[in-house]
Structure 1
């Protein structure tokens, strides 16, 4: 979603634009200084692994000790909760097909034009088959995406 031109690099501009589309305004210079530490030497932006590293605050996903592990889990939970709120526009605790469609439209993704595809996306992660994605289903989906791509 962030790599609009498909070059497998996410620039500061790409990231800033995506965050703005989602209504999450970020100061460009602060964003730039934050991600510079995660860009490999010689690159103009983040590769996928760099983006994952940025998401995890540059920390490895290894359990160093119980306190650190508990902190990472609570930070991950907080991050996922914030991401969920972006999709759950009405704040009812569920992501409907319409809400997902709105976010996809904001991101300029072609899937947003076809409600059948959006409903299929919901169905694919909707474990209790209520036609909506709750926070636990969202969390499971996000964790499986991060695990399968790392």
Structure 2
């Protein structure tokens, strides 16, 4: 199951589709990947994707395959290491890297201000949407400290609430 809803993915797709042709070019997709500090050459990305552009359904499949790969990696790695970070071959999981992207001050927590800052940087924040990052964080904040720690972030990314 996707962490992001189909509507979320549609909104991301539409924002990435800068020229409005209904397709994501590899350049448009690579722009997003670079923002989240995932580096591919265009040749590597085309080899991974298998074509020069993606329609919305293909973009959803691409997202699902990445999400499922991360879930599969967690279960194959045996879950958490003793430091609370999911283990992988490089010693630092993609999930831990994603957490660090949101944890702007490096204190081990994601505040509503940090979440909003990253969403603005990704072009996914719209003041008129009425969304409140505090409410978003509260949904997954199981220890009620007003912030998301790494375990809560994992639950959020794998869409489970304890």
Q: TM-score range with shorter-chain normalisation? A: 0.5 to 0.7
Q: Does structure 2 retain, via aligned residues, the 8 Å contact 1:87–1:99?
A: yes
Match of 1:80 among 71, 74, 95: 95
Alignment CA distance shift 1:115-1:22 (3 Å): farther
Q: 1:31, CA displacement in angstroms?
A: 2.4
TM-score, with normalisation over the residues of structure 1? 0.67
SS of match in other structure, 1:99: helix
Residue number in structure 2 paired with 1:71: 77
Matched residue, 1:126: 141
- 8 Å CA contact 1:22, 1:106 repeated in 2: no
Q: How many residues align?
A: 133
- Please give the TM-score of this superposition, normalised by the length of structure 2: 0.63
Q: Which has the higher helix share?
A: 1
Match among 102, 106, 124 for residue 91 of structure 1 = 106
CA RMSD in angstroms, aligned pairs only: 3.7
Contact 1:104 1:112 in 2 (8 A): no
Contact 2:102/2:114 (<8 A) preserved = yes
- Secondary structure (helix, strand or coil) at the match of 1:144 reads coil
Deviation at 1:112, TM superposition (A): 6.0
Runs of 4+ in 1 over 4 A off after TM superposition: 5-11, 112-116
Cα distance in 2 for partners of 1:44, 1:16 equals: 11
Match status 1:51 vs 2:63: yes
Gaps (5+ residues) in structure 2? 1-8, 80-86
Q: Distance in 2 between matches of 1:26 and 1:84?
A: 20
1:105 matched to 2:120 = yes
Instruction: Identify if the C-alpha distance between structure 1 residues 52 and 88 changes in structure 2 by more than 3 Å, giving closer, same or farther.
Output: same
Report the alpha carbon displacement of residue 23 of structure 1 after superposing the two structures with TM. 4.9
Alpha-carbon distance, 1:95 to partner: 0.5
Distance 2:121 2:48 in 1: 24
